[in-house]
Amino acid sequence: MTTDSGDPVFTVQRHHASTLHFDLRLEVDGVLVSWAVPKGPSLDPSVKRLAVKVGDHDLDHATYEGRHAGGRGPGTKIVWDTGTLTNLTRRDGTEVPLTEALAAGHLKVELHGQRLTGAFALTRTSLRGDPASWILVKVDDHGADPAHEVTEALTSVLTGRTNIDLEDVAPD
């Protein structure tokens, strides 16, 4: 799904399953590495959001909207935001490949989306001893806006539909 410019993509899906959450997906080595973010991303650098690492997805899932009957993630999904990403992860001034950054448990990316712009950091934590627990934090930069609750946006950036609009769609 890498764009024509060669830049990797990111997507955030608003996923209304048994509970509402947001799925953050970053293109890394030909797959979408994914986290479920229960409260969604924040534009406030002082806010830390839990991000639970989930299974990787195929790249074609970056634009998926619809309703699942079961399996991985039942419920409705819309593409809440999408765009490209730039790897900002550095060690001693040298770029760290995202695969290595993931393995080390810390990465920083700049997102170029419609709703999310600027840098975000993901850090693995030992929260409750769960290796899938990460923390998502907005970096204090041009995209930071502590006064704006970005997750109040309900529509898809691709189609304008909401999760409610998809409730009557036949499941995949």
Q: Is the pLDDT of residue 54 over 60?
A: yes
Confidence (pTM): 0.92
Locate the domains of the chain by residue range: 9-155
128-168 pLDDT, tens per residue? 777 789 999 999 999 999 999 999 999 999 999 999 999 88
Residue 167 CA to its chain's centroid (Å): 22
66-122 pLDDT, tens per residue? 998 766 567 899 999 999 999 999 999 999 999 999 999 999 999 999 999 999 999
- pLDDT at 169 (0 to 100): 80
Q: Is the pLDDT of residue 2 over 90?
A: no
- pLDDT at 168 (0 to 100): 81
Query: Which H/E stretch holds residue 9?
Result: strand 9-16
Lowest mean pLDDT among 38-47, 92-101, 119-128: 119-128
118 torsion bin: left (phi>0), alpha (psi -120 to 50), beta (else): left
Please name the residues in contact with 165: beta carbons below 8 A apart, sequence gap of 6 or more: none
